[in-house]
Amino acid sequence: NFVLTQPHSVSESPGKTVTISCTRSSGGIGGHYVQWYQQRPGSGPTTIIYEDKERPSGVPPRFSGSIDPSSNSAFLTISGLRTEDEADYFCHSLKVFGGGTRLTVL
């Protein structure tokens, strides 16, 4: 089996852009779709990216997903940061979840 490694935390200022990485330990990142979930404090997860780069209806284009086979990583990029984006973000592929990244917008 493989592990998905995310940074424990990231922080950035409102209006800026932040990118969260998700690195797969073995096997190609392109072998299975990668999803990204947002979990605000006290709430359940919601999907912001599925199938590497697709956004469910209602998710603004400020959120984008990509994969990079050269680094065997997936990336979640959030532009125009808002305080409401403060949350934990989890990547997911096959049946494996990353440990989550706490985003602080300050």
Partner 1 sequence: EVQLVQSGGGSVQPGGSLRLSCAGSGFIFGSRWMSWVRQAPGRGLEWVANIKTDGSEAYYVDSVRGRFIVSRDNTKNLLSLQMSSLTVEDTAVYYCAKSGSWDPDAFDVWGQGTVVTVSS
Candidate residues 9, 25, 46, 71; the one interacting with partner 1 per rule CB under 8 A: 46
CB of 14 to partner 1, least distance (A): 27
CB of 54 to partner 1, least distance (A): 7
Q: Contact 58/74 with Cβ under 8 angstroms?
A: no
Q: Which one, of 18, 1, 13, 44, lies nearest residue 101 by Cα?
A: 18
CB of 45 to partner 1, least distance (A): 5
Sheet containing 73-78: give its strands across: 4-5, 18-24, 73-78, 63-68
Residue 41 makes contact with partner 1 by CB under 8 A? no
Could you give the C-alpha distances from 23 to 5, 14, 43, 94, 100, in angstroms and in order?
5, 26, 26, 14, 12
Candidate residues 5, 47, 66, 79; the one interacting with partner 1 per rule CB under 8 A: 47
- How many residues form the binding site for partner 1 (CB under 8 A)? 22
Which positions touch partner 1 (CB under 8 A)? 32-33, 35, 37, 44-47, 50-51, 54, 56, 90, 92-100
